[in-house]
Amino acid sequence: MKEIVLDTETTGLSVKDGHRIVEIGCIELDDLIPTKNVFHCYLNPERKVSDSALKVHGYTDQFLADKQKFKDIAEDFLNFIDGKKIIIHNAEFDISHLNNELSLINKKKITKDFVIDTLEIARNKFPGSGISLDALCKRFKIDNSKRDKHTALIDCELLSKVYINL
């Protein structure tokens, strides 16, 4: 069975405040084994990156200025995830941002029917314990030393290993 491990980086936390996606990363798994099939792009969010988000991922307004807009990659992205389960850590966050982007260009939203939230799985498996991606990497002895800043692809690589352990 094919699944997609997905992560986004954004200009800030809240869609309600107009925050947008600046990076999408996806890694395909086939029976829990990563394939070479990857989707990755940086995006021009058409707004400023908040100071707090800049500290998390390090993508400046200048770096993002010449990148494609979400509407330019939407079809390729939707084709990549089509018909596959989507694995996300804290799915509420990523799905709300993705669905906001999709609604801005009048595309059908992603339903939660196809989403597996590893945060919920971890919360149920390890009540009262740390369930951040870093905490789960530590629990499962997954090397996350490459993770200086949050980047969608590195986070997907780590999450794919965490997901297998969960």
What average pLDDT does the segment 50-62 reach?
95
pLDDT at 148 over 90: no
139 vs 73: CA distance, rounded Å? 36
122 vs 117: CA distance, rounded Å? 9
> 82-116: per-residue pLDDT in tens?
999 999 999 999 999 999 999 999 999 999 999 99
19, 89, 97, 150: the active-site residue: 150
Q: Does the active-site annotation cover 57?
A: no
pLDDT of residue 14: 93
144 vs 134: CA distance, rounded Å? 7
pLDDT of residue 128: 93
Q: Predicted confidence band at 150 (pLDDT cuts at 50, 70, 90)? A: confident
42 vs 64: CA distance, rounded Å? 7
pLDDT of residue 149: 82
Rounded to 10°, the helix 91-104/70-81 angle is: 120
> 6-52: per-residue pLDDT in tens?
999 999 999 999 999 999 999 999 999 999 999 999 999 999 999 99
